[in-house]
Structure 1
Amino acid sequence: MLDLTFEPPKPKVIAGAKHDWELVIGMEVHAQVASNAKLFSGASTQFGAEPNSNVSFVDAAMPGMLPVINEFCVEQAVRTGLGLKAQINLKSAFDRKNYFYPDLPQGYQISQLYHPIVGEGEIIVDMEPGIARKVRIERIHMEQDAGKSIHDMDPHMSFVDLNRTGVCLMEIVSRPDIRGPEEAAAYVLKLRQILRYLGTCDGNMQNGNLRADVNVSVCRPGAYEKYMETQDFSHLGTRCEIKNMNSMRFIQMAIDYEARRQIAIVEGGGEIVQETRLYDPDKNETRSMRSKEEAHDYRYFPDPDLLPLEIEQDWVDGIAESLPELPDEKKSRFVNNFGLSEYDANVLTAEHENAAFFEAAAEGRDGKLVANWVINELFGRLKKEGHDITESPVSPAQLGGIVDLISSDAISGKIAKDLFEIVYTEGGDPAKIVEERGMKQVTDTGAIETAVDQIIADNPAQVEKAQSNPKLAGWFVGQVMKATGGKANPKAVNEIVQQKLGL
């Protein structure tokens, strides 16, 4: 396992006009379940379909249409809970959350307020090499997504697209353990990584499949510690919720703006109104959306069309046995088995596909050398061209073949880069390319000695300089490499040059 130091949250301190203030942040992340069908109907969840083409009678709230729960969505929620080391509740229930909006045909949302399917868990957030923090998860519940109101197609009309209506969401609710904008972004990034490894959500924030509601409040130094002792939220100040954040960068910017807005109000003698706000990235500001309704305003009550959900422990155990190796465990194994630095292991495990590529390329090889080529050469080239590892023209076997040629001294590092370029742009077997194009490294010391002798004989003045200043011997190494077309073994060249010059 990695040798991690768990630190208590470090608050970001903001200096107001009169006092110092600290941030307190809690997050409600809505993750769309990776399922082909909706939570209570068989309608498709395909993204980008024609408006109102993925709508069943249940989704449209036609009279007499009853919801039927999708077992796969339940399995995905349980799988997520297990991945977050959370308590799985064998009994849960659905409630109706009543409110009226054009994109909510039923006039209520089916959710889980009182009896969620997943209880308390935790996420380990990596802050810097060797330093991590734990963010407590309060609960995960399933709920229906609403539709989408469209206001920009006609200046005189609004439109409603119900394709998203009824899509299963997991709402992952954290405790107010996050203390700064950077930590908030790191938390969402780690949660997204885990969900993608589990296969329970694709984490596509651009499509709205992962979005966060961010609760922000400010308090005086020491107040958070009092909250942790008493669990009394009154110590934390009045919070405001920033809705539907779908960018790590915007999450940080919105938190910073909202904290400073609240500080200015309080120091000016005003009071923070608990409300829901939206973030405008163009103006870099939050603005009021609506006052924050309390739970009783939604008139929650058990959904009469759905029986309480009961699952068996054996079923949960079966899901647990099928869990993949998760990011933290994989990173630890890469460090221990391949001798990688924690930084390199972090880069390679950031995405499941990246880790799989590295592991396939590193099998039976020098893990550090393979990691260097994957991260610096392959990832660097792919990023430059706007591609990810799934679009790589170089396979793990081809990259491994290049590393084999380096390890066996068949080619030098310089030749390897030329070879990589050929494989990347043209494809082919690295070993065959080296053989057919005469790219093999010259390891014959006799041939190298001949080249060194010739360079020394042609440059007597340079010999005198090198003998009085050994650092200049590198000039001879460069000349020999140039004379051999870069094919001479650099180590052998350096040793022979040193010997011939008497250094």
Structure 2
Amino acid sequence: MTSATASLLDYDDVIAAFDPVMGMEVHVELGTATKMFCGCPTAFGAEPNTQVCPVCIGLPGALPVANAAAIESAVRIGLALNCSIRASSQFARKNYFYPDQPKNYQISQYDDPIAYDGYIDVPLTDGTTWRVEIERAHMEEDTGKSLHIGGTGRIHGASHSLLDYNRAGVPLVEIVTRPITGTGERAPEIARALVGALRDLVKSLGVSDARMDQGSLRCDANVSLMARGATEFGTRTETKNVNSLKSVEIAVRYEMCRQAAILQAGGEITQETRHFQEADGTTSAGRRKETSDDYRYFPEPDLAPVQPDPAWVEQLRATLPELPWLRRARIQTEWGVSDEVMRDLINVGAVDLIIATADAGAPPEAARSWWVSFLAQQANSRSVELPELAIRPAQVATLIGLVEAGTLTTKLAQQVALAVIDGEGEPEQIVADRALEVVRDDSALQAAVDQALAANPDIAEKIRSGKVAAAGKIVGDVMKATRGQADPARVKELVLAACSLHHRS
């Protein structure tokens, strides 16, 4: 039975019969200004083939030079993963023919990675952790990008293909785990949590924006099954370039169910790469998986070994930030919020934004309120993730400060926030340009109050008779008359005072 004809085994039946084994390869595109071995820029979204040179498109005689900032980032990642840093690591040529790699080989690292033998304690949603051992974290260059025109967007069935070499040569660090065993039914959950933890880690290090939607963090998920009680791993498949946390979880679960159905029917698993289909959460066959021998690795003759000074490595170790999940636990205690509330904040990507807003001077409670209510609504309406919303924590802190100072009402501040998101500038400048400051002239407010009371004599009479709640209508009219620039509390005071005065007269 082939994988194409196999049905899916029920997940509970999979777990009853098999032990899953996973191996994750996470590719982190480093946020350096230039490429790994040349001076071409790395900005995302440039016109195709405008960020290339003889080095990154492999013209004869062009020689690579290693990017020092990329090496530093790789060392920082290795240290954060509790790895040993190799005293002398060597670049190698990984030979293969793909049209998106113009040299027909990729400069990578093979048997001498810069970082090796580490681990990461991955936080899970139930508050426990799962230790994942890291085999290596090595440096390499990215490939270009193929765009297949026609058909399904894949090479099979396409009428023609276009190649963009802007990404070719962008520095990568590939983080490779050792086999992850003993996870049982939690395998998909742990796979997702691991990739999420690595994403948070590299972002906290400042070495990558880790935008999975833009490909700056990609995951290859290796999955195999072995029968309960067996001691040898099964044949694995490698689902390539999975680009969201949810998709990692779905892809691992699907492969477990697909492979189990084949094995239960007496079939064999093909060692191959597979493509994840976002539309239906399935995987499809790619190519037969090469072994290291197929790549014909040999040392890169044009690059000297990387030999980081041990004193420099220790200096970098001293600069490592607090682990993101430990920081969140500390912040949760300081904020005094429940596990459930904290999980919700993490799920919407609000925690780091709230912390940064508080660090910029805003009270944590106000920062939390802004990000999880008004700004979360704006992100949702624009179909973007909260961290992608075009407003910075420092700008939100400024708006909160303007509200606390009485310069803006909350509604006015929200108007300013929308203008910031739409690219109109900084909050203070928008306030000045739109003349949005709260009206503080009591004489102007009194005139508006008197006008509203005169226009609503029945409401005014209710207020005079002691029905204070009726003042809301008058306050609302005054707010409209002042374009929302009045202080509602001050307006209410003037309304009640006016009605009391009229009553006494």
TM-score of the pair, normalised by structure 1:
0.73
Q: How many aligned residue pairs are there?
A: 429
Alignment correspondent of 1:492: none
- After superposition, what is the alpha-carbon deviation per residue over 1:453-486, rounded to whole angstroms, capped at 9, x for unaligned? x99988xxxxxxxxxxxxxxxxx99678789878
Match for residue 68 of structure 1? 65
Taking a change above 3 Å as real, the CA distance of residues 300 and 59 of structure 1, as seen in their structure-2 partners, is same
Structure 1 stretch displaced more, 87-96 or 391-400:
391-400
Say if 2:174 is the partner of 1:171. Answer: yes
**Does structure 2 retain, via aligned residues, the 8 Å contact 1:18–1:267?**
no
- The offset of 1:320, in angstroms, is 2.7
Q: How does 1:53-132 map to 2 (within 5 A)?
A: 53-128=50-125, 130-132=127-129
Residue 34 of structure 2 corresponds to residue 37 of structure 1: yes
Q: How does 1:212-291 map to 2 (within 5 A)?
A: 212-221=219-228, 234=232, 236-291=233-288
For 2:200, the equivalent position in structure 1 comes to: 193
Q: Please say if residues 116 and 136 of structure 2, whose CA atoms lie closer than 8 Å, have aligned partners that are also in contact.
A: yes
CA contact (8 A) 1:327 1:350 kept: no
The code of the aligned residue for 1:96 comes to R
User: Quick one: which amino acid aligns to residue 398 of structure 1?
Assistant: L
Q: Which amino acid aligns with 1:169?
A: L
Instruction: Describe the shift of the 1:156–1:287 C-alpha distance in structure 2 as closer, same or farther (beyond 3 A).
Output: closer
* Counterparts of 2:239 and 2:131, CA distance in 1: 23
Secondary structure at 1:128 match in 2: coil
What's the offset of the Cα at 1:166? 1.7
- AA partner of residue 217 (structure 2): L
Q: Distance in 1 between matches of 2:278 and 2:475?
A: 57
Secondary structure of 1:114's counterpart equals coil
Inter-CA distance 398–105: structure 2 relative to 1 (3 Å threshold): closer
Match of 2:165 in 1: 162
Distance in 2 between the 1:93 and 1:421 partners?
Answer: 54
SS of the residue corresponding to residue 120 of structure 1 reads: strand
Amino acid at match of 2:165: L
CA distance in 2, matches of 1:301, 1:275: 24
- The equivalent of 2:329 in structure 1 is 332
Deviation at 1:53, TM superposition (A): 2.5
Report if the CA contact (8 A) 2:217-2:243 is conserved: yes
Q: Which amino acid aligns with 1:171?
A: E
Letter matched to residue 316 of structure 2:
I
Contact 2:94 2:296 in 1 (8 A): yes
Measured against aligned partners, the alpha-carbon deviations of 1:96-149 in whole angstroms (never above 9, x if no partner) come to 212222222322222111011111333333322533323222210011222233
Q: 1:49 to 1:397 in 2, by over 3 A?
A: closer
Q: In 1, are the aligned partners of 2:354 and 2:367 still within 8 Å (CA)?
A: no
Residue in 2 that maps onto 1:310: 307
Would the alpha carbon gap of residues 218 and 87 (structure 1) be closer, same or farther in structure 2, given more than 3 Å must change? Answer: same
Q: For 1:433, which of 427, 432, 438 is the aligned residue?
A: 438
Q: Is the 8 A contact 1:370 1:403 kept in 2?
A: no
Letter aligned with residue 137 of structure 1: I
Q: Match of 1:193, SS?
A: helix
SS at the partner of 2:179? coil
SS where residue 68 of structure 1 aligns? Answer: coil
In structure 2, give the amino acid aligned to 1:213.
Answer: D
Label 1:478 to 1:82 Cα distance change in 2 as closer, same or farther (>3 A). farther
3-state SS, counterpart of residue 243 of structure 1: strand
CA contact (8 A) 2:149 2:159 kept: no
Q: Is the 8 A contact 1:197 1:352 kept in 2?
A: no
User: For 1:374-418, what per-residue CA distance to the aligned partner results, in whole angstroms no more than 9, with x for missing partners?
Assistant: 43344344444456466339630332454687xxxxxxxxx9765
* Alignment check: 8 A CA contact 1:331 1:342 kept: no
Extract unaligned runs of 5+ from structure 1: 1-11, 227-233, 406-414, 440-453, 459-475, 489-503
CA distance in structure 1 between the partners assigned to 2:332 and 2:390 by the alignment: 26
Q: Is the 8 A contact 2:409 2:438 kept in 1?
A: no
Task: Mark the CA change 1:370 to 1:71 in structure 2 (over 3 Å): closer, same or farther.
Answer: closer
Report the alpha carbon displacement of residue 222 of structure 1 after superposing the two structures with TM. Answer: 5.6
Alignment of 1:136-147 (within 5 A): 136-147=133-144
The equivalent residue for 2:4 is none
AA paired with 2:163? V
Select which of 209, 215, 223 maps to 1:208. 215
User: In the alignment, which residue of structure 2 is the partner of 1:494?
Assistant: none
Q: Answer whether contact 2:113 2:138 (CA < 8 A) is retained.
A: yes
RMSD: 3.9
Give the 3 Å change call, closer, same or farther, for CA 239–355 of structure 1 in structure 2: same
Structure 1 counterpart of 2:390, one-letter code: E
In 2, the alpha carbon distance for the partners of 1:221 and 1:477 equals 73
Q: 1:425 to 1:112 in 2, by over 3 A?
A: closer
Residue 48 in structure 1 maps to residue 45 in structure 2:
yes
Q: TM-score, normalised by structure 2?
A: 0.73
- SS of 2:56's equivalent in the other structure is coil
Aligned to 2:355: 355
Contact 2:93 2:108 in 1 (8 A): yes
Is the Cα contact below 8 Å between 1:77 and 1:117 reproduced in 2?
yes
- What SS does the corresponding residue of 1:166 show, helix, strand or coil? coil
Could you tell me how far apart the structure 1 residues matched to 2:15 and 2:194 are? Answer: 31
Q: Which segments of structure 1 move beyond 6 Å, counting only runs of 4 or more?
A: 454-458, 476-486
Q: SS where residue 391 of structure 1 aligns?
A: coil
Matched with 1:391 is 390
Contact 2:210 2:216 in 1 (8 A): yes
Deviation at 1:69, TM superposition (A): 1.1
**Contact kept in structure 1, 2:367 and 2:397, CA below 8 Å:** no
How far apart are 1:37 and its partner, in Å? 1.5
Equivalent AA in structure 2 for residue 68 of structure 1: V
Q: CA deviation at 1:341?
A: 3.9
Residue correspondence of structure 1 range 453-472 to structure 2 within 5 A = none
Instruction: Give the superposition deviation at 1:67.
Output: 1.8
Q: Indicate the SS of the match to 2:311.
A: helix
Structure 2 residue identity aligned to 1:166: G
